[in-house]
Structure 1
Amino acid sequence: MKQTEIINIFTKKTLGLTFVLTAAAFAFAQEKVSISGTVVSKNNQPVPYASVSFSNKENKLFSDATLTDEKGQYTLDIVPGNYDITIEAIDYKKGLVNKQISTAGNIGALSIEPEASSTNLKTADIQGVTITVQATKPYKVELDKKTYDPSQDIVSKGGNLQDVLSNVPSVSVDTDGTVSMRGNSNVKFLINGKPSSLLGIDDGANALQSIPADQIERIEVITNPSSKFEASGTAGILNIILKKDKKIGFNGSVTGTIGYLPRTNLNTNLSWRKGNWTWFLNGGGGYQRNQSTTKNSTIQKKNDINALNVNNFPFTQSSIQDGKTKREGDNYNLNAGLTHDFSDKTSINLSGMIRSFNNDQNALNTYNEIEYRTTTHLDTNGDLIEDGPRTIENLNRTRNSIGNNKNFATQIDFGLDQKIGDNGQLFTVSGSYQTNKSDGYNVITQNTFNTTTQITEKNLINNVNTNSKTNTFIGKADYELPIGEKSKFEAGARYDYNKNTYDYLVTESNGGNPFTTRYDFTSNTVYSESILGIYAQYKSKIGEKFAYQVGLRSELSKIDIDFQNYDQNQNLVNSSVNKNYTKFFPSVFLSYDIAKNNQILINYSRRINRPRAFSLIPFMSFDDDRNYFRGNPNLNPTYENSFEVGYNLSNKKITFNPTLYFKKSEDEQNRYQYVDETGAVNTIPFNVGTETNYGLDLNGTYDPFKWWKMMLSADLYGYKNTGSFNLFPDNPETLNDFSGSGFSYRIRFNNTFKPTKNLSFQLQGFYRAAEKTAMNNRKSMYGLDLGLSQTIWNGNGTIGFNIRDIFNTRKMRNYANNAQFTREMEMQWQPRQFALSFTYRFKQGEKVDTKPKIKKDINSNTSGEDDQQGPM
């Protein structure tokens, strides 16, 4: 693509957003005076990093706050008026004075007294078991999770959520966008602590690519959640926290990105805090193009037509598929909200999100096939009789699909935090309503040419229309009761309701004939799910080193599926599936402090993997007539028992966090595959046998020099599967044996270099070893990324450049071998890419809000709305 074309795309797709997203930067202006002062202790010693809040008695909008520097001094621009000044600092009592401020200048020293305690220092009396690393580290380890900071990920600058997840410890992203943790793809995604319509109906790659990296504050990796979390997601939980700046005054940043394959983005993060009010706005959009390639080689093992074919029809002997798909589209998102503190005990928060994307797709697949042909008829007994000799014929087919998919999602959240009494009791309630609507169409043109007879055999045109929508409601209430200084009791309830509607229509025309309905693919489905969860947990300490937390969660699940399709006589068939079950999910967390910054952690939890909606809905996609997938409405949940033993070590230069884990599941969901009468491979999920996973998850950092930082993430894991299944018991050749075992590993290694104060560059490499699963032998894969970052304009601007997949090696390759066929597949979701980004930050100093809060609001929760904590 020419340089001018890229510039034109950037101008057309994103330049207009600049005026909309930065207009708020000029919304607030008032005549102010500059004041200064100091904060000192009772013996006249300076108090560094103290919070000084100025509350205007006539107009709360003129209130402001700041922090003292290391010498106890501060400066602030403020509107003249009468102010109540509150001074707060760790280890000191709160101070309160009143001053009339009319002119600029020094307002003198403000004095505060030390906090009275057994050690005369409040911080020395605080007990805890949470281990965190220094703020300069890319991730920190806590009792119940790992937290990844994407701000130090230079490679992902200007990218999206999928790019960021590729570098998160314990997380892997396949080339098709499938996310897994420790080899398990049953990951539960949360946005700000709750399921979100931002991630779409199917949590696919399009949704991951629609959330810009610049809007992500951190990602929390929770591999073994406690009973306070919902029980779904046997792999664990990924909680994506979006940015909401906590600095006083008006602050923000704007980031623009341009890249190739063409990618343009413009995103902004704005916040304004005055007095008891906080507003924030994150928004942006852009244009992206990608190109994926697929190669499939399928060979049936026997030439005997009656040996393998289920219905004894002629079938394809071998097929070589070569496909290329081009996608391009726009995406836009907006996340805005506010928080208001009515008093020291009551706070509310309200936020809303909107996301949309519009994607065009052009997919071309070519097939070179060898078919056995014969003429047959049914005799009076219903047996198949061959009329003529079998022949071998070569066919060349092309299948071109041109389509569009539009998606629009909304979400509204509300929360109330109420402190009860003065001993730390807290009651919180929150609600969320979400919608997601997706409309798509594809026009598929298929031509078949017989190279043996030199005759064009088929010219087919198919129209595929899909419409789906989801409505979700989440209501939640929690209560916390401190018991003494070392214990806490927590309890709560949560209700989730989801209603999904899917309409699928396929029509067909052969040559110049009118379009007729393909009744074998047309269907309508209504899927509804309601889950009521109730939990209670207790945490405490025994002595100074041992802490524990025990919890129990109960979930009542109700799932209803109403399915309409057509039989072979084109008669409408209605069917329904109803599931209703109640299960219990205990959790136990233990910790022991060996020494300072050395800790052993042991935990256990029971989890559930509920089948996703598309795994239960029994309609088939028409996108690829050589590969069909359809759901199984009789699919049951998988239950898993998970154990972990971890160790944490941290000091100035090193953090070291190895974790041994063991998981065993019941009624494991496996995908059964067979070849139908047309030669297509059909895939259906079934509950088959058990699965055992065990391994060592190792994460660590090492800073050999101030200018060189290293991060290592490795997962060495083994697995064992048992069970077998046959959809056609009369044909032993169609038996799928899911039994097997193996061992594999993944390694990711990051190096960040800072040769000068303002220049940084980063090298990220990964290697994923080969792995044998129940149905596939996955081959090894590796890749290398490069990123550079240059700070300019006294830290207010940053120029970033990155190259992802430098050697163009990020390709997924699988080999399948069963009684019916062998298949070799290679897929590359997108080729090598590079991007150039520029970030500009505008702010009112570095004033951070340190005022104690009742509870972190819905968008700044440390561990999401379900504030999972281990022993105190």
Structure 2
Amino acid sequence: MSKTEIVSIFTKKTLGLTLVLSAAAMAFAQEKAGVSGMIVNKKNLPVPYASVTFTNKANKSLSDAVLTDEKGQYKLQLAPGDYDITVEAIDYKKSIINKNITGPGNIGALSIEPEASSTLDGKTQELQGVVITASATKPYKVELDKKTYDPSQDIVSKGGNLQDVLTNVPSVSVDTDGTVSMRGNSNVKFLINGKPSSLLGIDDGANALQSIPADQIERIEVITNPSSKFEASGTAGILNIILKKNKKTGFNGSVTGTLGYLPQTSLNTNLSWRKGKFTWFLNGGGGYRESKNTSRTDAWFNSGINKETHNESISKSKNDNYNTSAGLTYDISDKTSVNASGTVRTFDSDNKGNINYFDYPFTGGSIFRLRASNGTGNNLAFQGDFGLDHKFDDNGQNLSLSLSLQRNRSNNDSNIYDTREDIFQLQDLVNQNTVNKSIIAKADYELPIGENSKIEAGYRLDSNINDYSNQVMQSTVLSPALAYLDKYTYNANYKEMFNAFYVQFKSKIGKLGYQIGLRDELSKVDVDYLNREGAAVNKSKNYNNLFPSVFLSYEIAKDNQFLINYSRRIDRPRSFFLIPNPNYSDNQNIFDGNIDLNPSYVDSYEIGYSISKKNFTINPTLYYRHSTDDVKMLVYDQDVTSKDASGVPQTLTTFHTKPINLGNDDRYGLDLNFNWDATKWLKFLGNVDLFGYKTTGVYFDPTIMNEPTSFEGKGFSTRARLTSTFKIDKTFSFQLQGFYRGGQKTQSIDRKDMYALSLGASKTIWKGNGTISFNIQDIFNTRSMRSTAYGPNYTRDNYMQWQPRQFALSLTYRFKQGEKIDQPKKKKDINSNAAGDDQQGGPM
């Protein structure tokens, strides 16, 4: 692709959308004057993080508020007029001062008096359960119930997407094919703002992760052992992606543009406006990205027809994605608010791939086959969210109601052309269409009991419907006319309904905190399937399971505590796995569904220790998980004989992959996370996961007639990640990120180790309103997956690289009229979560 084409894509496809959004939002801005000042105590010492509210006497809509910084200073934009200035801070008396603002300038220092219980020097003293905390500056925080990652300080993923960000999150790994895992387990449950979301598509594919811009992510919550308040699915844990919703007064926003190679362009904007009782946000943008996937397979067969085969697959794709989100919050009163938001996301792709097959029978000679594929895909997702939050009193008795309506439509077409020794063999036309409709309704209630206890209870309804339509047509050298492959042409309907109830009790006795919870989930799954052969399946499955959780904490000292927890969870089969013949894209590699697949269950235990100081945080955790009916992928081969154009028989070896309930899986290990500000110019963020695994079970190999085969796989492996941030000066920093994943070996597969190194640099410009960033992903082009699989009659080596080395340059511009008005008056309740939806807590 030429530079002219890249610029054309950038300007035509993304610039227009963002400029329209920005222009619409700028209409709300008003002419104001820059006002600054300072809050001090009676000893003329600065008062940090005080709340300063300017109330316009003539027009309440012109009122505004701001927090002082660590030096007691503040800045904001105000329209000229008479104002009542209200100053509030912990351990200080509330102060109200009248002031006339005539124009821009500094209004001087305002003095406030300490409360009677404060120390004589005016400094804030620590009260029981009350700690003043500054805004979080660490990229990684350990909380009792979760770990929180802030991607804003991740220079390497600037201008990237959710998948790029996840590669740098502690305790999380992203394989070369886009598979996300936590502590070696890929059964991860994704949430967007606390709920399953159509933004992630159906079955959380890698393409969906690439369609959410990194610039729209506020933080990522890593929840390895969720409590009963969360839905029970996801045996590895939960990744909660919190998207940006600005809480600043006035008009605020940012625009980020990115150019990179392999060719990629993007332009995204985040806008917000807050006045009086109304708050709205508008996020949107789009991008173009090219990808290149390379895989090679070498197989040796020692039974039947002895031979060796080699194939190489290179596929390239071009992706366009656009997204727009808008939301509004209205404060009916000081205690009641309603909110509504909507999201639209599109994802379009063009894919071209070639697979070269080389077969070498041991009897001599060779056979060359070429399989070329052209495909297109498009995905359209809608989501509407509605909510009501009500505070019954100021003691923490709250009720939250929410409703989410979602729809996702995915359509994919493939044209596959197969030749043998340059002679036409067959053509496949494949069309896959899937429509998902979801309704999620929730009610959460909190009731404090005294100062140290709380009861939480709630209800949740999940209704999901997936409609699958699959058509496969084929023409061969012997049958030139296109005809349906009846086995793979089908319609299927998948329905699931979950009703969940939970209750939790939290309390504290001295330094010991505890939480006990119980969740009951009633699940009903219906599958209706019919293909052109007439094979029909109509099956219903019902589950009713209890999921307890227990959390304990013991505070040794301030910011120094032991954590112990237990939870039980479920892994329900994906809808895709239950369809008998879900897809057909390659006649040598076929995925078979399993209608008899059952859920697997896991009991998860953790013992952790957390110490957090000004310059460092250390969080080692010992964990153990025991899974029953664990789902594994069974791979087996079959020889299929057909005739070519000359009537000569030819044998084709086909590999089949099928999910099965194998047996028990045990995982144990040490997960160590840390961040360390070594000096003012050097910071480290690291994660080391040392884990062992053992899987045992019995399965029936389709190639061995109804004879059970025992399986046992065990071993030990390592995963590690280290990010080093170097601050050259106040405006310039760069990062080095290293990643290593140790090899894993079982009875049937030997996966080699993998490592990669990435670089990023960031420079603040335009007096702090702009940032320019540059990054290189996988500097040495080493991020690839290599493995060897062993079967009863074959050995197969595999190599895969999902994306080669790439680099990107991004520019961000920020514009603002106000500051945050949320004052951190109290230490955050460890039972709460800012996402406010389906969130868990630990003991108080």
- Which one of 391, 403, 406 corresponds to residue 434 of structure 1? 406
The 3-state SS of whatever aligns with 1:611 is coil
CA gap 1:268/1:396 in 2 versus in 1, 3 angstroms: same
Deviation at 1:370, TM superposition (A): 3.9
CA distance in 2, matches of 1:730, 1:301: 16
Which of the numbers 479, 492, 497 marks the counterpart of 1:530? 497
Q: CA deviation at 1:273?
A: 1.3
Cα-to-partner distance string for 1:205-242 (whole Å, 9 max, x where unaligned): 11011111111111110000001111100000001111
1:866: Cα distance to partner?
A: 1.6
The structure-2 alpha-carbon separation of the partners of 1:505 and 1:133, relative to structure 1 and needing over 3 Å to count, comes to farther
Q: Determine the structure 2 residue equivalent to 1:447.
A: 419
Contact 2:201 2:408 in 1 (8 A): yes
CA 524–393 in structure 1, closer or farther in 2 if over 3 Å, else same: farther
Unaligned ranges ≥5, structure 2: 641-652
Superposed CA deviations along residues 177-212 of structure 1, whole A, max 9, x for unmatched, are: 000000000000001111011101021111011111
The match for 1:815 is 788
Deviation at 1:342, TM superposition (A): 1.7
The answer to whether the 8 A contact 1:655-1:702 is kept is yes
Structure 1 residues 319 and 840: alpha-carbon distance in aligned structure 2, compared to 1, 3 A threshold: same
TM-score scaled by structure 2? 0.93
Q: Which residue of 1 aligns with 2:718?
A: 745
Cα distance, 1:864 vs structure 2? 5.1
Residue 527 of structure 2 aligns with which residue? 561
**Contact 2:91–2:118 under 8 Å retained in 1:** no
Provide the rounded CA distance (Å) in 2 between the counterparts of 1:721 and 1:755: 49
User: How far did 1:10 drift?
Assistant: 2.6
Whether the aligned pair in 2 keeps the contact of 1:329 and 1:359 (CA below 8 Å) is yes
**Secondary structure of the structure 1 residue equivalent to 2:9:** helix
Residue 145 (1) aligns with residue 146 (2): yes
Q: 1:279 to 1:811 in 2, by over 3 A?
A: same
Structure 2 counterpart of 1:327, one-letter code? S
Structure 1 spans left out of the alignment, 5+ residues:
306-314, 373-390, 450-455
* Deviation per residue, 1:490-548 (Å, 9 max, x gap): 111111111001100001123583211110211111001111111111111111x2111
Match of 1:552 in 2: 518
Match of 2:678, SS state, is strand
Change in 2 beyond 3 A, CA 1:134/1:744: farther
Q: Hey, what's the Cα distance between the residues in 2 that align with 1:457 and 1:78?
A: 77
The corresponding residue for 2:339 is 349
Instruction: Please tell me the residue identity of whatever aligns with 2:316.
Output: K
Instruction: Please name the residue that 1:339 is paired with.
Output: 329
Cα offsets for 1:655-709 (capped at 9, x unmatched): 2111000000111111222212322111111112100000000111222221111
Return the alpha-carbon distance in structure 2 between the equivalents of residues 518 and 68 of structure 1.
69
The secondary structure found in structure 2 opposite 1:866 is: coil
Q: Which residue matches 1:578? A: 540
Greater displacement, 104-113 / 23-32: 104-113
Is the 8 Å Cα contact of residues 326 and 361 (structure 1) preserved in structure 2? Answer: yes
Task: State the alpha-carbon separation in 2 of the partners of residues 132 and 728 from structure 1.
Answer: 61
Quote how far apart the aligned CAs of 1:44 are: 8.1
Shift of 1:367: 0.4
Are 1:162 and 2:182 matched, yes or no? no
- Counterpart of 1:402 (choices 347, 369, 374) is 374
Q: Could you tell me whether the CA contact under 8 Å between 1:133 and 1:141 is conserved in 2? A: no
Once the two structures are superposed, what CA deviation does each residue of 1:228-264 show, in whole Å capped at 9, x if it has no partner?
1111000000011111222221111111100000000
**Aligned equivalents of 2:631, 2:717: Cα separation in 1:** 21
Letter in 2 for 1:187: V
SS of 1:207 mapped into structure 2:
helix
1:688 aligns with 2:662: yes
Q: Which residue of 1 aligns with 2:676?
A: 702
Residue 674 of structure 1 corresponds to 636
1:782 maps to what in 2?
Answer: 755
1:22 partnered with 2:22: yes
Which of 125, 128, 145 does residue 126 from structure 1 map onto?
Answer: 128
Match of 2:563 in 1: 601
Q: Is the 8 A contact 1:707 1:755 kept in 2?
A: yes
- Report the Cα offset of residue 616 of structure 1: 1.1
- Which of 454, 459, 484 aligns to 1:493? It is 459
* Cα displacement string for residues 808-848 of structure 1 (whole angstroms, at most 9, x for unaligned residues): 11111111112132111101011110111111111125454
Residues 115 and 415 of structure 1: CA distance in aligned 2, closer, same or farther (over 3 Å): farther
Q: 2:568, 2:535 → 1: CA distance? A: 39
Equivalent pair of 1:293/1:829 in contact (CA under 8 Å): yes
User: CA 1:131 to 1:177, structure 2 compared with 1: closer, same or farther past 3 Å?
Assistant: farther
AA in 1 matched with 2:216: Q
Match of 1:835 in 2: 808
Aligned with 1:720 (options 673, 682, 694): 694
Q: Distance in 1 between matches of 2:619 and 2:671?
A: 8
- Alignment-derived partner of residue 466 in structure 1: 432
1:97 Cα shift?
6.3
* Partner amino acid, structure 2, of 1:416: L
**Contact 1:767–1:783 (CA under 8 A) maintained in structure 2:** yes
Show CA shifts across 1:582-612 (max 9, x none): 1001111111111222211010000111111
For residues 689-735 of structure 1, the C-alpha deviation after alignment (integer angstroms, 9 at most, x for no partner) is 10000000011122222111112211000011111211448538x86
CA distance in 1, matches of 2:563, 2:317: 46
Q: Is the 1:147–1:218 contact (alpha carbons within 8 Å) kept by the matching residues of 2?
A: yes
Report matched runs for 1:496-535 at 5 Å: 496-511=462-477, 513-535=480-502
Amino acid at match of 2:378: K
The aligned amino acid for 1:754 is: K
Contact 2:638–2:703, Cα closer than 8 Å, also in 1 = no
Distance between the aligned counterparts of 1:660 and 1:861, measured in 2?
24
Q: Write the distance in 1 (CA, Å) between the matches of 2:161 and 2:441.
A: 29
Q: CA deviation at 1:357?
A: 0.8
Distance 1:112 1:493, change over 3 A: farther
For the Cα contact (< 8 Å) 2:49–2:134, is it kept in 1?
no
The two structures, once aligned, show a CA RMSD in angstroms of 2.7
Query: CA shift at 1:275, angstroms?
Result: 1.9
CA shift, 1:457, in A, is 6.2
Residue 202 in structure 1 maps to residue 203 in structure 2: yes
1:565–1:775 Cα change, 3 Å: farther
8 Å contact kept, 2:89–2:825: no
Quote the offset at 1:736 in angstroms: 4.8
Aligned to 1:239: 240
Matches of residues 642-661 of structure 1 in structure 2 within 5 Å?
642-661=604-623
Question: Over residues 67-107 of structure 1, what are the superposed CA-to-partner deviations in whole Å (9 max), with x where a residue is unaligned?
Answer: 34566565544234565544322223545567776777787
How far apart, in 2, do the equivalents of 1:132 and 1:67 lie?
Answer: 13
Equivalent-residue separation in structure 1 for 2:191 and 2:76 (angstroms)? 39
Matches within 5 A, 1:42-191: 47-56=47-56, 59-68=59-68, 72=72, 74=74, 76-81=76-81, 83=83, 85-95=85-95, 114-115=114-115, 124-127=126-129, 135-191=136-192
Structure 1 residues 300 and 759, CA gap change in structure 2 (3 angstroms): same
CA contact (8 A) 1:710 1:751 kept: yes
Decide whether aligned partners of structure 1 residues 480 and 113 sit closer, same or farther in structure 2, where only a CA change above 3 A counts: farther
SS at match of 2:212: coil
Question: Contact conserved, 1:220 with 1:863, CA < 8 A, in 2?
Answer: no
Partner secondary structure for residue 799 of structure 1: strand
**Equivalent residues, number:** 826
How far residue 33 of structure 1 moved from its aligned partner, in angstroms, is: 5.2
Return closer, same or farther for 1:133/1:647 CA change in 2, 3 Å cut-off.
farther
Q: Which amino acid aligns with 2:128?
A: I
Q: Call closer, same or farther: CA 1:316–1:561 in 2, change over 3 Å.
A: farther
| Paired residue secondary structure (1:822) | strand
1:815 and 1:823 in contact (8 A); partners too:
yes
The answer to whether residue 539 in structure 2 is matched with residue 539 in structure 1 is: no
Find the counterpart in structure 2 of residue 633 from structure 1.
595
Alpha-carbon spacing, 1:414–1:18, altered in 2? closer, same or farther (3 Å): closer
Question: SS at 2:486's partner residue?
Answer: coil
3-state SS of the aligned residue for 2:412?
Answer: strand
Residues 227/123 of structure 1: CA separation in 2 closer, same or farther (3 Å cut): farther
Instruction: Give the alignment's TM-score, normalised by structure 1.
Output: 0.90
